[in-house]
Structure 1
């Protein structure tokens, strides 16, 4: 079973949804048969790498609310994160552009470490207050998941894997993705948003059950005058 997960590194519901899916897989009897694949999605491709705004101010400006209201919304999000065992420290979050982080995830994918890389990036952003738009920081994070630090930095200093990021976003548009997280099971079933764990578990069981069903063959030619061969002879 293949699950593709469109996410952004700085999307709180993406991190929460990822954890809920993981919790569902802990209850799924066939989790060892599941292949997880992250796909890139930038909530704001035009975001600046460096800004003087903190995350509360940015949220307030985006939705036309007061700073206190923005902070209250983030505090509520942090409470939701606690329910799945995550710690969100929004006071320390550094808003930034995520293109380099996504490019790094595609480099990690070439070495079978994309899932680990995305987990590390989200943890660094939401919990540790690290600047995931800074290439030196990203290279250190890459090393922590087993990638070569110098090679990672060299790649980040180019535009390598940018096309992969763009292609993922274009495919999301073709699928009609309006927001993330967005989960696609076996290129057939989609789950939008950070759904409850039991929803993910139901989908996992449904897709697995469908995989086990052998396709039924329909005989289209009902005529008795059919030319064929069997073990004894060939005839009609």
Structure 2
């Protein structure tokens, strides 16, 4: 949701902005195959009832719908996302990180695909133009693991412990799924104060 609002905001800013996606796992200890559904997981994690978890999730679904996203939380397949992050990093090296990130998010939130499953990931990668054999070889190895861990370490060093989190020019933070207007105001203010980023 935050990603979509940022993208919508960037359409209205008369200045080129480069967006770089970083890896961040909400639960690095998660297993690849999880029997719990999203409501059970949230209830357990935050000490709330299943009803409260459903109400919170329903609010998120409605917010997503208001900006054109179709979240299917009832059928979402929870999993460990480390290999999906590795795939996004692999795609980054091929100039397809934005496309791969979009595809992974849609597969997870809308299509209820198992994005911890290697065959699923290979199929999604092929859809955005990556070579199936290269992706299969990468997933079967520990390739791109260091890149994912480096991003996660950088997030820890910066004190980031939730998503979405946006860091502009390596010093201005926007946290949470803020409105399109907040992104526009923040980016325009940064451009006015700092000028274009040269990092």
TM-score by length of 2: 0.94
* Alignment partner, residue 5 of structure 2: 20
Task: State the 1:63 CA deviation.
Answer: 2.0
Aligned to 2:44: 61
- Matched residues in 2 for 1:188 and 1:42: separation? 22
Say which of 19, 31, 54 aligns to 1:71: 54
Bigger share in helix: 2
| Structure 1 equivalent of residue 81 of structure 2 | 98
The 2-side partners of 1:168 and 1:138 are apart by 21
Once superposed, which parts of structure 1, at least 4 consecutive aligned residues long, lie more than 3 Å away? 210-213
Q: Distance in 2 between matches of 1:113 and 1:204?
A: 24
Change (3 A) 1:212 1:60: closer
1:166 aligns with 2:166: no
* CA displacement 1:11-49 (0-9 Å, x = unmatched): xxxxx100110111111111xx21110010111000011
Residue 170 of structure 2 is aligned to residue 187 of structure 1 = yes
Larger radius of gyration: 1
Greater CA drift, 70-79 or 168-177: 70-79
Describe the SS at the equivalent of 1:191: strand
Q: Secondary structure at the match of 2:6?
A: helix
Cα distance, 1:212 vs. partner?
4.2
* Counterpart residue number, 1:110: 93
Corresponding residue of 2:109: 126
Partner-residue secondary structure (3-state), 2:22 = strand
The CA distance in 2 between the partners of 1:152 and 1:84, in whole Å, is: 32
The alignment's TM-score, normalised by the length of structure 1, stands at 0.79
CA RMSD of aligned residues (A): 1.4
Determine the C-alpha separation between the residues in 1 that align with 2:82 and 2:148.
8
Paired position in structure 2 for 1:226: none
CA distance in 2, matches of 1:91, 1:146: 30
The count of residues paired between Structure 1 and Structure 2 equals 196
Q: List runs of 5+ in structure 2 lacking aligned partners.
A: none
Between the aligned partners of 1:65 and 1:200, the Cα distance in structure 2 is 32
Question: Is the aligned partner of 1:202 residue 2:191?
Answer: no
What 5-or-longer segments of structure 1 have no aligned partner? 1-15, 214-236
Output aligned runs, 1:76-95, within 5 Å. 76-95=59-78
- From 118, 126, 140, give the equivalent of 2:123: 140
Match status 1:48 vs 2:31: yes
Return 186-195 or 92-101, whichever deviates more: 186-195
Shift of 1:211: 4.7
